[in-house]
Amino acid sequence: MEEVKVITPEELQKRVENGEELHLVDVREDEEVAEGMIPTAKHIRMNDIPANVDYFDKDKEYIFICRSGRRSENVCYYLQEQGYKVTNMAGGMLEWEGKTVNK
């Protein structure tokens, strides 16, 4: 199994603040997202990813986010095996110090 690319919360925060067009997907549960998520992230719960695989475009890179980085890593392996370009935010929202919004 090929390793999944990783980005640190600090690296991602710089890219968000620089206004880069990023495709962020938060895979946490509803109650976790209610505590705040990265402003440009789309919320698709981990268990809903297989049913929403049509949302993803194989020409774009997606950065996956969860609470600690473990669930998002699992989603990355799942989608990477299907040919998608994925990156996992290591440490998850526990280590995110950037701006958040409540959805």
Pinpoint the alpha helices (H) of the chain.
9-17, 30-33, 70-81
Copy the structure tokens of residue 82.
């299907």
66 in catalytic set: yes
Question: What pLDDT is attached to residue 12?
Answer: 98
* Domain contains 70: yes
* Domain contains 44: yes
C-alpha–C-alpha distance, residues 54 and 68, integer Å: 26
From first CA to last CA, the distance across the chain in angstroms is 35
Q: What pTM was computed for the model?
A: 0.96
Question: What pLDDT is attached to residue 83?
Answer: 97
User: Beta strands of the chain (E only): which ranges?
Assistant: 5-7, 23-26, 42-43, 61-65, 85-89
pLDDT digits (tens, 9 = 90+) for 88-102: 999 999 999 999 998
Question: What pLDDT is attached to residue 72?
Answer: 98
* Domain contains 72: yes
Please say if the pLDDT value at position 2 is more than 90. Answer: no
What is the count of structural domains for the chain? Answer: 1
* Domain contains 19: yes
pLDDT digits (tens, 9 = 90+) for 26-56: 999 999 999 999 999 999 999 999 999 999 9
User: Are the CB atoms for 56 and 78 separated by under 8 Å?
Assistant: no
- CATH label of the domain that carries residue 28: 3.40.250.10
* Domain contains 101: no
* Domain contains 100: no
* Domain contains 49: yes
* Domain contains 103: no
Look up the domain containing 61 and give its range.
5-94
pLDDT digits (tens, 9 = 90+) for 64-89: 999 999 999 999 999 999 999 999 99
In the set 66, 79, 86, 89, the catalytic residue is 66
